[in-house]
Amino acid sequence: MTRLIVSKLLQMLFTLWVILTVLFFLFRLGLPDPTVALVTDGLSPEDRAIVTERFGLDRPLPAQYVIYLGNALTGEFGRSFHYNAPVTSIVGERVANTLVLMLPAILISYTIGPLLGVLLAWKRGSKLEAGGITAGLVLRSAPMFWVGMLVIMLFGIQLGWFPTSGMRTFPYEAANFFEKIFTLDFLHHLILPTIVITLYYTGLPMLIMRNTMLEVMGEDFIEFAGARGLSRARVMYRHAARNALLPVVTQAAVTAGLAVGGQVVVEVVFSWPGLGLEMFNAVRTSDYPLAQAAFMLMAAIILVLNFAADVIYGRLDPRVSYTSEGAGV
Amino acid sequence: MTNTIRVVRTGLAVALMLGVAAATGFAGGAPEPEGDPVPEITIYTTTESYDPIRYEAAFMIQDAWEELGFQVNVEPMEFSTLLQYFYDEQDFDATILGWSGRVDRLDPQHFLGTLHGEQIDLGANNPGGYVNREYDELYVRQEREFDPDARREIVLQMQDIAASDAPLDVLFYRDEVVGYNNERFENFVAMAGEGIYNEWTPYEVTPLSDDLMLTIGTSQEPDTINPLDSTSVWGWKFMRMYYDKLVRLTPDIEPEPWAAQEIIEVDDRTVDVIVRDGMTFHDGEPVTVEDVKFSFDYFIDNDFAYFRPFFGPIDSVEVLDSSTVRFHLAEPYSPFITVTLSQIVILPEHIWGNIDNPADLAPDDIPTVGSGPFKFDTYDRGEYKALKVFEDHFSAGDIAIEGIDYITYADSEGVFTALLTGEIDMNAWRMEPGQIPIAEAEDHISVITVGDFGYYHMTYNLRRAPFDEVQVRRALAHAIDRNTIIDVLLEGRGEAGYSVIAPINTFWHNPDVERFDFDLERARQLLEEAGYTWDAQGRIYAPQS
C-alpha cells in the first residue's frame, strides 16, 4: 500500500510539472503582451519599457521559466500584473468565496442526484422515469446564465424575495471570513445562486446512477436479495445502489475539483466575487501570474481528489484491490 | 429529383452567362486596366461580444468599399490582441478603435498628439504613421501658446489640415446614457465624457429620503488605490474624491482654483500658486506648501510613467514663502493649469516621505490619508468601497450627503438589475442600448444622455498601399455611411464625427473642417481622378507608377 501511494504521489508530481510547464508557455505564447492595455492610457513606448522590466518580461523566456519553476517549488506565484499585489493573497480571498458557493451546491446535487437516480431505475418504464430523464437532460442543457437570469427576474425583481447579487448587503461589519459567512444575510444571498448551480449539477449524477443501476439490477445477487424477502426499497437503496455508486464517485471528484474554478457564468450573473470571475479577468488582461496560480490550484485539487477517489474505491467496493501488479477490478 | 437539379443548373448557367455578358458590356467603354490590382484590405475590429457596434460598422464599411471595387476582409479580434496589432506591431491595414473621453483630454493636447509626426514609433499614439510637417510645427506652437484665443486659432487650423488629409476617419462620438433613482436623490450633474459619475455629483445631489449615503453601482474595479501606481481611470475616479488637487475642473470644464487660493502666471515659464489657508489632512495634520512641493517632487522622483505627460513640463518646484509655491517650467506649456495642476494630487509628506519605493507597497500598506472633501473608509477589492464626508474640509458645507457607497458588480447587467431593484442610486458607466428603453419605462429611474468627447475611429496604416495616397483616403472617407451607423447601430444615440476634437468640446472644436458625406459616386470620381481604373469584373487597379 505504501509503495502504491508513493508511486501515485510521484505520478502526481510529474503531472503537476507538466501542467506548470504547459500553463507557462500557453499564456505567454497565446495571450497578448500584458502591457499593451497601457497604451490607451497614453503611456509612451519608453514608459511601457519600464513596466515591462518591472514585470520581468524583458528577460529571455527560458530564464523566466527557470525563475517560475523555482518559485512554484516554494509555493510562490509572484505578483499580479494588474493589481500589483501578491497572487497568493488574491487567490486565497477568492477561492474561499467560491468554495462557500460551490461546495453546498455540489453536496446537495450529489446527495439528491444519486437518490433520484435509484428511484428512476426502480420505476423503470413509468412516467416518473420519463419525466425525470427529461428534466435531468433539460436542466443539464439549459445555459446557466439563462436560468440565472430567469431566477433573478422572477425571485429578485418581480417578487423581490431575494437579493440579486453579491455575498452580503453593504455596508457590513466582519472581522474575518467566518463572521462574513455565518449570518442570515449571507444565506439570503446564497440561496438563488445555489438553486441555479444545484439544478444544473443534479442531472448528471442522477442519470449516471440510473444507468449503472439498470446494469446492476440485472445481476443475480439482486434477485437473490429479493428472494430473501427483503423489501424492494431496501434492495434498491442498500444492495443495488452501493454497487452502482462507483462512477458517481469518480464524477464527484472531477466536479469538486473543477468547483474551485467556480462557475464563471454563475459568478458573473450573480456578481459573486469568486475565483472564476478573477480567472476570467486575469486571462482577459494577460495577468500571467494570477492566471497561472488560479489554474494551477484547480489542477492540483483535481489531482488530489482523483487520488482520494482511487483510495475510496477500495472502501466502497472491496472487489477493487490494488496489488503490486497494478490495479485490478 | 435528378431532373430538378439539372433544371436548376441550366438556369444557373444561363444566369451566369447573362451576368458575364452584362459585365463585359458595362466594361466595354472603359479602358483596360494598366497597373496592378489594389491589394486586399483587411479591417480589424472588436469582437461582437466586446462591442457589437464597432463589429457591425466594420461590415457596413466593407460592403461600401467592395462596391468601389476594393477587396475587403473584416477580422474581428479580442480587444488586447487588437491593441497589440495596432499599437505594438503596427501590423494592420485599417483598424477600428476608440479613445475614451477622460476629463484631462478636454484639453486638445492629447488628441492632437495622436496625429503628431513624432509619435509614430512602435507603441506610440500615432500608429497610422501620419506625418505632416505643417501640422507638426503647429502642434509645437499651440503647446507653447499661453493665450487661449491665440492657441485656439492654431488648434482650429490643425483640425482643418488633418481632416482634409484623412489619415483616419472619426466615425462617431457615442452618447453616454446613464440612469439614477429619482425617488432617492435629485440634482445630478452631467458632464461631457463622465456622465453623472463625476467629481461634482456628490456636491450637488439632494437626498429625498432619510438615507444620506449615495450608492453608486459599477462594474469597473480600480487596479489599485496606490496613487503612485494606479494606471486606470477607475482607480483615479475613486481616489480623486479623497485627495485634493490645486485646481479642479468645473462642470463646464473651466479650471477653478481648489486647494490653490490663487494662481499667478508670472511669465510663460513660471507659475506661482498661493495655497489655500487652513486645510488639514484627514489625520489632523495641516496641509502646507511643503506638502505641495513634496507631492510634485515625489511624483517626478518616482517617475510614475502614467503622470509623465502631466509633470513632464515641470523643471523644478520651489517654496517661496509659507503660502506660495513656484513652478518653473522647462518649456512654455499651455495645458499646465488645466491639465497638470488638475491631475496631480496632494499627498501628506509626513506619511509618504518615509516610503522609498511606493510602487512596491503591499495592498494593505497603502496610505489612504488625503485632504479631500471625502475621507477614505473601506476598500474590499472586487466588492465594495466607501467614503465619508470630511467635515473639516473647506467645501464640506456644500455637501448634503454623508458619504458614498460603491458596489461592484460583475458586469453591466448586474449594475442595471441593481438600479431596477433600487439597490443602487446611480450607475457609474453607461447603459447598454437594450437596457435604455427598460429604464425609461420605470417610474423610479430617470435617464440622462450626455455627449462624449472621446471618439471612435478607423485609422489607416499610411505605410501601406493604398492608404499611402491621400486621394484614396479621401475617396474611402466618402464611402463610410456614418449616419446609418448612428441611426441603426447606435439607435440615434451619438453624433457623426469629422474631427478628433468633438463638437461638445465647443471651445476647441472646429465646426468648419472638411466633411466627407456618404457618396459612392463622388468616391468613384475621386479614384478616377487619381488614375485608378477598373477591370471587367469591377475590381480596382492602381495607376501604373
Closest approach of A84 to chain B, Cα-based (Å): 7
Lowest mean pLDDT among B159-168, B251-260, B393-402: B251-260
Instruction: Compare all CA atoms of chain B with the CA of A276 and give the residue at the minimum distance.
Output: B410
Q: Which residues of B touch A171 (CB under 8 A)?
A: 378, 384, 386, 405
pLDDT for the residue B351: 96
Mutate: best of B44, B51, B80, partner A, most A CBs <10 A: B80
Q: Which of A8-22, A23-37, B358-372 has the lowest mean pLDDT?
A: A23-37
Q: Across the interface, do B363 and A89 touch by the CB < 8 Å criterion?
A: yes
Q: Do A170 and B418 touch (CB under 8 A)?
A: no
ipTM surpasses 0.85: no
Comparing alpha-carbon positions, the chain A residue that sits nearest to B305 is A47
Number of residues in chain A: 329
Q: Hey, of B50, B84, B116, which one would you mutate to test binding to chain A, going by the most A CBs within 10 A of its CB?
A: B84
Residues of A in contact with B119 (CB under 8 A): 44
Query: Among residues A16, A3, A25, A49, which one has the least CA distance to residue A298?
Result: A16
Residue A111 and residue A113: Cα distance in Å, rounded? 6
Half-sphere exposure of residue B18, counting CA atoms within 13 Å on the CB side? 6
How much is the pLDDT for B88? 81
Flag if A42 and B417 touch (Cβ within 8 Å). no
Chain centroid to Cα A180, Å, comes to 22
Number of neighbours of residue B405 by Cβ within 10 angstroms: 20
Res A321: pLDDT? 60
To the nearest whole angstrom, how far is the Cα of B399 from the nearest Cα of chain A? 21
Contact A41 B306 (CB under 8 A): yes
Question: Does A49 have pLDDT greater than 90?
Answer: no
Q: Closest chain A residue to B387 measured between Cα atoms?
A: A171
Q: Return the ∠ at Cα B479 (arms to B474 and B484), rounded to 5°.
A: 135
Count the neighbouring beta carbons within 10 Å of the beta carbon of residue B422: 15
Q: Are B130 and B464 in contact (CB under 8 A)?
A: no
Residue of B nearest to A273 (CA): B382
Chain B residues with CB under 8 Å of A90 CB are 381
Cell of A167: 455575498
Q: Is B407 on the interface with A (CB under 8 A)?
A: yes
pLDDT of A39 reads: 67
Evaluate the CA torsion angle A227, A229, A230, A232 in order and state its sign: positive
Distance from CA of B84 to the nearest CA of A (A): 6
CB A298 within 8 Å of CB A261: yes
Distance from CA of A309 to the nearest CA of B (A): 35
B417/A32 Cβ within 8 A = no
Using CA atoms, how far apart are residues A243 and A222, in angstroms rounded to an integer? Answer: 11
Residues 476-515 of B with CB under 8 A from A: none
- Got the DSSP string for A237-267? IIIIHHHH-HHHHHHHHHHHHHHTT--HHHH
Q: Who's near A28: CB < 8 A, 6+ residues apart?
A: A61, A64, A288
- The string of pLDDT tens digits covering residues B180-191 is 999 999 999 998
| C-alpha–C-alpha distance, residues B150 and B189, integer Å | 31
Task: Give dist(CA A148, CA A154) in Å, integer.
Answer: 10
By C-alpha distance, the chain B residue nearest A286 is: B80
Q: Is the pLDDT of residue B290 over 80?
A: yes
CB distance A171–B421 less than 8 Å? Answer: no
Q: Which residue of A has its CA nearest to B303?
A: A47
Encode pLDDT of A77-120 as tens digits: 888 888 878 888 888 888 888 889 998 999 999 999 999 998 88
Give pLDDT, residue B14: 47
Percentage with pLDDT > 70 across chain B: 94
Residues in a beta bridge with B519: none
Query: Which of A165, A176, A275, A280 to mutate: most B Cβ within 10 Å?
Result: A165
Dist CA A112 CA A198 (whole Å): 10
Read off the pLDDT of each residue in B329-343 and give the average, rounded to a whole number. 90
| Structure confidence at residue B314 as a pLDDT band (50, 70, 90) | very high
B38-52, B94-108, B311-325: range with highest mean pLDDT: B311-325
Average pLDDT over residues B224-236: 85
**Residue A286: which of B80, B384, B421 has the nearest Cβ?**
B80
Q: Taking a C-beta distance cutoff of 8 angstroms, is the pair B126, A45 a contact?
A: no
Q: Do B414 and A269 touch (CB under 8 A)?
A: yes
Instruction: Report pLDDT for B303.
Output: 81
If you average pLDDT over every residue of chain A, what do you get? 83
Report the distance separating Cα B327 and Cα B247, nearest Å: 14
pLDDT on residue B140: 93
Highest mean pLDDT among B5-14, B72-81, B229-238, B516-525: B516-525
Which chain A residues are Cβ-neighbours of B121 within 8 angstroms? 45
Handedness of CA B356, B360, B362, B366 (dihedral sign): positive
**Each residue's pLDDT tens digit, B454-469:** 999 999 999 998 999 9
- Given its phi and psi angles, is residue B194 left (phi above 0), alpha (psi -120 to 50 degrees) or beta? alpha
Angle at B190 between CA B187 and CA B196, to 5 degrees: 85
Residues of chain B in contact with residue A163, where contact means CB-CB under 8 angstroms, are 423
Taking the CA atoms of residue A148, residue B176, residue B308 and residue B324 in that order, the dihedral angle to the nearest 10 degrees is -120
User: Do B305 and A50 make contact, defined as CB atoms within 8 angstroms?
Assistant: yes
- Is B420–A86 a contact, with Cβ atoms under 8 angstroms apart? no
Is the four-CA dihedral A60, A61, A63, A64 of positive or negative sign? positive
The grid coordinates of residue B333 equal 506649456
Name the helix (H) or strand (E) containing B257.
Answer: strand B255-257
Q: Classify each residue of A285-315 as buried b or exposed e, where b means 16 or more C-beta atoms within 10 Å of its C-beta.
A: bbbbbbbbbbbbbbbbbbbebbbebbebbee
